[in-house]
Structures are given as C-alpha cells and as structure tokens.
C-alpha cells in the first residue's frame, strides 16, 4: 500500500515540476516600437541585432514609427495583446509609448533602449546607451515600478518644464540633433541667454504656496533635466509618489545670474536663495500670460492654470 502511495506522490511531484517548467519556459509576446530617426539614427544600425536578441526571449514583432504620435497609436493598438513593449528612441518616443499604455488596467511590461539625444530618463535609471547592452539589460533584468506625471490631460515620464532652456528641447530640429547631438540644444539654449524672460507665477504644492518671478521651473521624476540640471538629493525616488520641483527666480543683476550658474554647475541648489527645491505629489501653476512648456522634451502650449499630478507606480520598466 505504501508503495502505491509513494508512486502517486512521485507522480504528483513530477506533474507539479512539469507545470513549473512549462510556466518558466513559456515565451513572451514582445512588440518593439522603434523610432529609427531619433538621436543620430543609430537604431537603423542596431535594429536587426536587437530584434534577434529578443527573439530568444519570445515571439517578437517590430513596428517602426512613421510620424509624431505614432508610437502612442501603436502602444494603444497592441498594448492589450503583448507581454512586453520595448521602446527604442528618445525621451519623446518613450513618453508617447507610455501615453498609449496608460489607459490599460493590465499594462504590459516596458523595456527602454535609449537612442535619443539627451536620454535623461535612461541616465536617471542607469540604462546603457549601447542598444545591444540595453537590450540585454531588459532580457536579464527585473521589473520595477515607476511613477508617471499627468499634466492637465497629458502624460509625461520624467519632466514638465518652462522657461530658459526649455524651449531648446523642442526648438532644435531633428536634422540639427542628428548632426550635432547635444550641441544642438546648447546652441538653441544660448539664444535664450541674451533675451532672458521671467514669468510671474503662483505655484501651490502640497505644503506651501509660492509666488514670484521665475526664470525656469521643472516638475520632475528624474536626476537629470535636459542634460544641464543634475539633482543629487538622496531622497529622489522614482516610485515614491512625489515629484521634485525646481524653481529658479529671475536674477536682478549679473551677480545673481552668476550665482545661479554656479549652483547649476555644482549641484548645490539648496544653498542658493534664488533656487527653490521641494517635493510634492501635486502642483498647481497659475500664470497671467501665455507660457509654453516642455513635456519630456516636446512642446506644449500650456494653459493659464496647469495641474500636475503624480500617478503613483503607474508603469513597470524592466532593466
């Protein structure tokens, strides 16, 4: 009798092991959304090898973006039918993909291969600039939750900014970015230095109301903004439900402007009276004039009242 029992027990264990092995070896459905003209068009060179790497992980399909907003359309169309979407492109392409995924209750995992000009989000979470290395980081990586920003009715992944240097992120043409790389942003930004403009704003955060004339402002979930501002606060987390808000007051003279530049170079923002740095879940920005914004490097016309909300742990990024 005990022999029969042992046999049954062994069969049950064998069956359980078989089920576990099957679950482990089940291949994923993967969609690669690639912007092959972003950055210096390096994805054209690496697309085939990247696709081959992911083919080992599962059934892989590639879609190449054809126009602005196309990545959002692709993410919406395929997001409910795949296990993972791999975005190949710059910060703007990544933002488009996330916008397409946000309506889904059960979102696919997201992989990111940064091939843009600044790749601020990738820098913040230490994703390799080499497409093949970034692909392997996804294949061998783990899934981590990240917050997403909601700017009135638009989503962004790492920053909403206004003022000096914000315009350069969307004013530089694709041809300039492909030819000059980050220098394209520097040249566009240099134009703004000679025509500094301030905005009188009322900004309401979780714990305080700020009102002043500002040269620049950013609401971010990143440690790098435009490749210019580096945030070194150890309390910056990407899944804590909080934004980091950086506000730079309009300088009254050349001495104050020099103080701002020094703070930007050293990263010692909290030691300057001209720079405000706060954490908040939500921010309301009120302006009495037109003020354009940059959302993940893309132009947005803004509005007299802008409400920015943190969508806590909204997506899962594998790296």
Catalytic (active-site) positions: 298
Question: Which residues lie below 8 Å from residue 3, measured CB to CB, with a gap of 6+?
Answer: none
Beta-carbon neighbour count of residue 265 at 10 Å? 10
> Are 57 and 109 in contact, with CB atoms under 8 Å apart?
no
Beta-carbon neighbour count of residue 67 at 10 Å? 7
CA distances from 131 to 13, 62, 135, 138, 296 (A): 42, 15, 6, 11, 21
* C-alpha atoms less than 13 angstroms from C-alpha of 276 in its C-beta half-sphere: 22
Q: Which parts of 157-280 are beta strand (E)? A: 159-163, 199-204, 209-220, 224-225, 229-230, 243-249, 275-280
Residue for token pair 């459905």 = 29
Q: What secondary structure does DSSP assign to 104-145, as a single string?
A: -SSPPEEEEEE-SSS-HHHHHTT--SSHHHHHHHHHT--EEE
Q: What angle do CA 318, 185, 193 make, to 5 degrees?
A: 135
Sign of CA dihedral 162, 168, 172, 177: negative
Q: Chain-centre distance of CA 60, in angstroms? A: 24
Going by C-alpha positions, the residue among 195, 214, 188 that lies closest to residue 203 is 214
Beta-carbon neighbour count of residue 184 at 10 Å? 21
């Amino acid at each position: 009798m005990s022999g029969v029992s042992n046999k049954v027990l062994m069969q049950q264990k064998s069956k359980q092991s078989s089920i576990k092995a099957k679950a482990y070896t089940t291949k994923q459905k993967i969609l690669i959304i690639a912007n092959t003209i972003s950055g210096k068009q390096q994805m054209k060179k690496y697309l085939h090898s990247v696709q081959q790497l992911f083919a080992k992980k599962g059934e892989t399909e590639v879609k190449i973006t054809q126009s602005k907003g196309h990545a959002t359309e692709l993410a919406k169309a395929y997001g409910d039918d795949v296990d993972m979407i791999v975005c190949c492109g710059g910060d703007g392409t990544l933002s488009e993909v996330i916008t397409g995924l946000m309506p889904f209750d059960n979102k696919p995992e997201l992989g990111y291969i940064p091939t843009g000009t600044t790749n601020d989000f990738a820098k913040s979470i230490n994703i390799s600039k080499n497409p093949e290395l970034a692909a392997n980081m996804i294949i061998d990586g783990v899934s981590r939750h990240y917050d997403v920003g909601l700017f009135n009715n638009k989503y962004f992944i790492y920053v909403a900014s206004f003022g000096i240097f914000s315009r350069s992120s969307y004013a530089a043409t694709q041809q300039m970015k492909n030819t000059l790389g980050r220098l394209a942003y520097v040249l566009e930004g240099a134009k703004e230095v000679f025509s500094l403009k301030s905005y009188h704003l009322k900004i309401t955060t979780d714990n305080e109301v700020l009102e002043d004339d500002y040269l620049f402002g950013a609401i971010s979930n990143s440690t790098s903004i435009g490749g210019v501002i580096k945030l070194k606060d150890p309390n910056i987390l990407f899944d804590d439900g909080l934004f980091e808000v950086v506000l730079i007051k309009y300088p009254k003279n050349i001495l104050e402007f020099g103080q701002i530049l020094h703070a930007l170079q050293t990263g010692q923002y909290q030691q300057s009276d001209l720079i405000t740095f706060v954490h908040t879940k939500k921010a309301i920005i009120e302006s009495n004039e037109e003020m354009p914004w940059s959302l993940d490097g893309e132009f947005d016309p803004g509005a007299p009242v802008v409400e920015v909300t943190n969508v806590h742990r909204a997506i899962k990024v594998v790296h």
